[in-house]
């Protein structure tokens, strides 16, 4: 972890300073490992969130398509009912005029 020049300086200092340096290097390494672990977790979480987004987006489009189909069916039935009402009304007029 130390460069060549850092290694020379490391060997030149007394043992207490070396112990402190070793301790600090150990803490740095542990912190780097924790950061890597957290980053990996966040990447996995991001992938899951993106997948959830796409799933929701697909559900939305499917529901929108279904809604449009239902509205078209409702409009078709409404037009059919109007046609039947007009037909019934004209039949009534025909029956009433015969009486």
The 10s digit of each residue's pLDDT in 1-60 is 779 998 888 889 999 999 999 999 999 999 999 999 999 999 999 999 999 999 999 999
pTM, to two decimals: 0.57
pLDDT, tens digit (0-9, with 9 covering 90-100), for 76-89 = 999 999 999 988 88
Closest CA to 21 of 43, 2, 38, 36: 2
- Count of structural domains within the chain: 1
Residues near 89 by beta carbon (within 8 Å), at least 6 away in sequence: none
For residue 36, the enclosing domain spans: 4-98
Closest CA to 25 of 53, 52, 2, 51: 2
């Amino acid at each position: 972890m130390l460069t060549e020049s850092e290694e020379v300086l490391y060997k030149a200092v007394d043992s207490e300073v070396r112990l402190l340096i070793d301790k600090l290097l150990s803490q740095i390494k542990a912190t780097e490992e924790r950061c890597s672990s957290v980053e990996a977790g966040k990447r996995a979480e991001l992938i899951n969130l993106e997948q959830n987004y796409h799933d929701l987006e697909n559900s939305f489009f499917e529901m929108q398509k279904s809604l449009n189909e239902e509205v078209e069916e409702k409009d078709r039935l409404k037009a059919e009912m109007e046609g039947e009402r007009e037909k019934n009304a004209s039949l009534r007029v025909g029956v009433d005029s015969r009486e």
